[in-house]
């Protein structure tokens, strides 16, 4: 397949890693609620999310290189390449979902270490590397099983939150890719179209901060204070993880329409 280049493969695995980290970030609040260290859990969550979202911005110049080397029939070739990259986001989210039970246990230990280091993230990582912390992760490996879904009821799924997080994830997934593709659709306004990716991702990030993150934080606080059953936080977090996977799949559908919309919007900018 001529559209599978070395650059595409590298970016594919880069996106896979980004979305795995973002998916696993949901486990930090679950782990923090289990051990009663919500503030430390939020600190670790913020570190993971900041790094992953910054990395998503850093992919733009590398992804732009795909367009520079697209050659003839660029619209068809680039669209196929970008769909491969979107699949990388889906694969990363699925990997994060599979590793959910493992990292709940691992992050519980990590949050305890972070609190012992008085909140110093640098000391936490230095100590973890020096003590070969990652070698001990094997003790926490626990793949999802039927027991993990014990006590599940459909009523525990927050439907509105599921749909909202799915839509936000789809927008976030295609923000850079649709903007770059819009530059091909409207080459005379390509610079305007490409720079619009920051606006698209910025809106998605604000929506997450306004409507999704506070919901989980309030639930985590309620669990740590004994006011809310842990299972509600658990299944809300699982719902968000599954909605992330669905959002990356929805991104395949929205990718081209979003690119045309951005290209059309550049007429008015």
Q: Is residue 147 part of a domain?
A: no
Q: How far apart are CA 101 and CA 122, in angstroms?
A: 26
DSSP 8-state class, residue 133 = G
Domain count, the chain: 1
Q: Which residue has the higher pLDDT, 257 or 62?
A: 257
pLDDT tens digits, one per residue of 6-17: 888 989 998 998
Report pTM: 0.85
For residue 185, how many C-alpha atoms fall within 13 Å in the half-sphere facing its CB?
23
pLDDT of residue 250: 97
Contact status, residue 28 vs residue 111, Cβ threshold 8 Å: yes
Q: How far apart are CA 192 and CA 198, in angstroms?
A: 11
Domain assignment of residue 75, given as a range: 6-141+156-268
Q: Is residue 146 part of a domain?
A: no
Q: How far apart are CA 144 and CA 136, in angstroms?
A: 19
pLDDT tens digits, one per residue of 125-154: 665 555 555 556 666 666 666 666 666 666
pLDDT tens digits, one per residue of 203-232: 888 888 888 888 887 887 788 777 888 778
pLDDT of residue 64: 80
pLDDT of residue 255: 95
pLDDT of residue 248: 96
pLDDT of residue 88: 94
pLDDT of residue 117: 60
* Average per-residue pLDDT for the chain: 80
pLDDT tens digits, one per residue of 24-45: 888 877 777 777 777 667 777 7
pLDDT band at 80 (very low <50, low <70, confident <90, very high): very high
Q: Is residue 118 part of a domain?
A: yes
Q: Is residue 149 part of a domain?
A: no
Give 75-81's long-range contacts (Cβ < 8 A, gap of 24+).
Answer: 75/184, 75/185, 77/2, 77/3, 78/180, 78/181, 78/184, 79/181, 79/255, 79/256, 80/3, 81/3, 81/4, 81/5, 81/8
Give percent of the chain above pLDDT 70. Answer: 81
Q: Is residue 229 part of a domain?
A: yes
């Amino acid at each position: 397949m001529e559209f599978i280049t070395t650059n595409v493969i590298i970016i594919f695995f880069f996106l896979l890693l980004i979305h795995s980290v973002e998916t696993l970030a949901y486990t930090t609040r679950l782990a923090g609620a289990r051990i009663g260290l919500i503030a430390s859990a939020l600190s670790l969550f913020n570190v993971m999310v900041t790094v992953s979202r910054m990395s998503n911005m850093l992919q733009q110049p590398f992804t732009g290189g795909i367009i520079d080397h697209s050659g003839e029939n660029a619209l068809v070739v680039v669209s196929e390449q970008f769909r491969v990259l979107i699949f990388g986001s889906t694969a990363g989210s699925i990997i994060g979902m599979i590793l959910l039970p493992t990292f709940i246990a691992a992050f519980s230990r990590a949050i305890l270490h972070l609190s012992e280091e008085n909140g110093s993230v640098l000391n936490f990582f230095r100590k973890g590397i020096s003590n070969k912390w990652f070698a001990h992760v094997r003790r926490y490996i626990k793949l999802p099983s039927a027991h993990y879904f014990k006590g599940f009821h459909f009523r525990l799924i927050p439907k509105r939150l599921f749909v909202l997080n799915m839509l936000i994830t789809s927008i976030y997934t295609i923000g850079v890719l649709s903007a770059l593709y819009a530059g091909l659709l409207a080459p005379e306004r390509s610079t305007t179209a490409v720079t619009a990716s920051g606006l698209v991702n910025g809106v998605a990030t604000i929506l997450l901060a306004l409507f999704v993150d506070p919901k989980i934080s309030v639930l985590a606080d309620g669990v740590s204070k004994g006011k809310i059953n842990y299972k509600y936080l658990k299944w809300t977090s699982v719902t968000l993880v599954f909605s992330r996977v669905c959002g990356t799949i929805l991104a395949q559908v929205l990718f081209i329409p979003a690119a045309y919309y951005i290209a059309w919007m550049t007429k008015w900018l």
